[in-house]
Amino acid sequence: MKITNATKKVKSVSSTGENTNPIPTLSDIYSDGLEVGDYRLFGRVTNSNRRGFLRGAGLGAMSALIGTAIPFHRFMPAGMIPVALAETMMTLPDKDGLTVLNDRPINAETPPHLLDDPITPNNRHFVRNNGIPPANTDASSWMLKIDGLVDNPMELSIDELKSKFKVYTKALLIECGGNGRAFFNPPAKGNQWTYGAVACSEWTGVRLKDVLKAAKVKSNAVYTAHYGTDTHLSGKEGKLPISRGIPIHKANDDSILIAFAQNGNPISPLNGAPLRLVVPGWPGSCSQKWLARIQIRDQVHDGPKMTGKAYRVPNRPVEAGEKVATKDFEIIERMPVKSLITSPQSGAKSGQSIEVRGHAWSGDRKVKAVHISSDFGATWQKAKLQAPANKGAWQNFQAEVKFPQSGYYEIWSRATDSAGERQPHAISWNPKGYLNNTLFRVAVRVA
């Protein structure tokens, strides 16, 4: 890491507020990389001061960007980007228009209107990192180890995966278990995802099922354990940011891929290049990025973010704000039925009618119907709903909505799946803010 670059001055702002130089944008400050940008804003992060603090030139630059003072700046942890800026100004390499919720670790979601494509392009796929992505993502030397309760442990290069197993390309949905957390009240800690921690890219790879078959999984196998090569935020050697797994019966699902390409291109570095797991329809955390090892276990995996309350919900309905004992939590498996309107963008102006488009999905199930309302749910019309491109993909819908007169409208979408499960009007609250699948709303002004 070239800290020397950090001596390059961030453009200055005069104290009168008059710009002798233009105000630097966050992109200017971070133009030489995250570490250098952090150094400019927060100063040197040492072992005794892992957080670092916003001060001096950095504080000046940040305040200028926000347009006012930050009274509690001394409590801002290094690497934290104020929400006010993140929403509009922070950009990520190879990503287009994503809202950055946190940059240490990087977490960024896609505004719904940028998810309009039937297949999500690489540069629009959300990013959920729990740690620091690995520096080495070289595909030619990457190895995947399969071990644990198998008769035939293996170590395979990506070329060997391609030559030994049948290669599949499938459109697969990844949604973070915490998507929609921002709307919980009382609020739940964690990334305040609104709608856009979901994507459906076309992934190319080999089936997990086929690889496990070749490894000869023993009959007492219970669970998989996934390991990536990203590192813990603390910098502690050997400490993992996240290692999750799935039940063996789920690992044999046809649609789970060990993927080495995304939309016909190499996987984006932030999305797990050069190799990742894609477990569609289950919490995104099951889809280990920078995948280096799959271990087969005789018990439910207990890696970081598998235990306690992580990616778990109470095993019974609870009241908003209720304290729930850890033993009453259970692991989230499939994600619930949900829909997303990707056009019009919320806040759009419209004529007397408008085309509504979006996607709907339900983990491990098909969506049976999507209904649209423009009168706050008093009446519903059925949208045209397409079949999924394949199992594990979202389904596209389309509807024509007519407005009786000018004014303010909301367009709501509500999906129902093959088991009759339907999006609720109100959040079913849980302590960690998972599984928010309330119906989707956009605002429209008819002129």
Ligand X SMILES: Nc1nc2c(c(=O)[nH]1)N[C@H]1C(S)=C(S)[C@@H](COP(=O)(O)O)O[C@H]1N2
When CB distances are held under 5 to 8 angstroms depending on the partner's kind, the choice from Mo ion, ligand X, none that residue 129 binds is ligand X
Q: Which is nearer to Mo ion, 113 or 128 (CB)?
A: 128
Should residue 170 be labelled a site residue for ligand X when binding is judged by CB under 6 A? Answer: no
Task: Look at phi and psi of residue 136 and say left if phi exceeds 0, alpha if psi is from -120 to 50, else beta.
Answer: beta
Neighbours of 219 (CB within 10 A): 6
364: Cα separation from own chain's centroid: 19
Should residue 105 be labelled a site residue for Mo ion when binding is judged by CB under 5 A? Answer: no
Options 38, 103, 230, 253; binder of ligand X; rule CB under 6 A: 230
Please choose, out of 116-124, 128-136, 345-353, 435-443, the segment that lies near ligand X by the rule CB under 6 A.
Answer: 128-136
Closest by CA to 125, choosing from 255, 278, 240, is 278
Contact 313, 335 (CB under 8 A): no
Closest by CA to 57, choosing from 111, 110, 12, 124, is 12
**Can you count the helices (H) and strands (E) in the chain?**
7, 23
Closest distance to ligand X from the beta carbon of 434 (Å): 11
Whose CB is nearest to ligand X? 284
Residues in contact with ligand X, counted by CB under 6 A, come to a total of: 21
Should residue 203 be labelled a site residue for ligand X when binding is judged by CB under 6 A? Answer: no
Should residue 196 be labelled a site residue for Mo ion when binding is judged by CB under 5 A? Answer: no
First to last CA, the chain: 54
Should residue 224 be labelled a site residue for ligand X when binding is judged by CB under 6 A? Answer: no
Contact 102, 191 (CB under 8 A): yes
Looking only at residues 97 through 126 of this chain, which bind ligand X when binding is defined by CB under 6 A?
125-126
Site string for Mo ion, 165-184 (x = CB under 5 A): -----------x--------
Strand ranges across the sheet with 127-128: 99-103, 106-109, 127-128
Site string for Mo ion, 284-303 (x = CB under 5 A): xx------------------
When CB distances are held under 5 to 8 angstroms depending on the partner's kind, the choice from Mo ion, ligand X, none that residue 412 binds is none
Length of the chain: 447
When CB distances are held under 5 to 8 angstroms depending on the partner's kind, the choice from ligand X, Mo ion, none that residue 228 binds is ligand X
C-alpha to C-alpha distance for 433 and 183, rounded to whole angstroms: 8
Side-chain half-sphere of 373: how many Cα atoms within 13 Å?
13
Report residue 405: phi and psi, to 5°. -160, 175
Should residue 131 be labelled a site residue for ligand X when binding is judged by CB under 6 A? Answer: yes
Closest distance to Mo ion from the beta carbon of 129 (Å): 10
Q: Which is nearer to ligand X, 125 or 297 (CB)?
A: 125
Side-chain half-sphere of 331: how many Cα atoms within 13 Å?
17
When CB distances are held under 5 to 8 angstroms depending on the partner's kind, the choice from ligand X, Mo ion, none that residue 431 binds is none
Please choose, out of 94-102, 129-137, 331-339, 427-435, the segment that lies near ligand X by the rule CB under 6 A.
Answer: 129-137
Neighbours of 395 (CB within 10 A): 23
Options 24, 52, 190, 228; binder of ligand X; rule CB under 6 A: 228
Options 82, 284, 363, 392; binder of ligand X; rule CB under 6 A: 284
In a 3-state reduction of DSSP, which class is residue 285?
helix
Q: Which is nearer to ligand X, 6 or 127 (CB)?
A: 127
C-alpha to C-alpha distance for 235 and 48, rounded to whole angstroms: 13
When CB distances are held under 5 to 8 angstroms depending on the partner's kind, the choice from ligand X, Mo ion, none that residue 154 binds is none
227: which strand partners? 293
Closest distance to Mo ion from the beta carbon of 178 (Å): 6
Should residue 92 be labelled a site residue for ligand X when binding is judged by CB under 6 A? Answer: no
C-alpha to C-alpha distance for 409 and 444, rounded to whole angstroms: 5
Closest distance to ligand X from the beta carbon of 256 (Å): 14
C-alpha to C-alpha distance for 242 and 148, rounded to whole angstroms: 19
**Binding positions for Mo ion, rule: CB under 5 A:** 128, 176, 284-285
**Residues found near ligand X in the complex (CB under 6 A):** 125-131, 174, 176, 228, 230, 241-242, 271-272, 284-285, 287-290
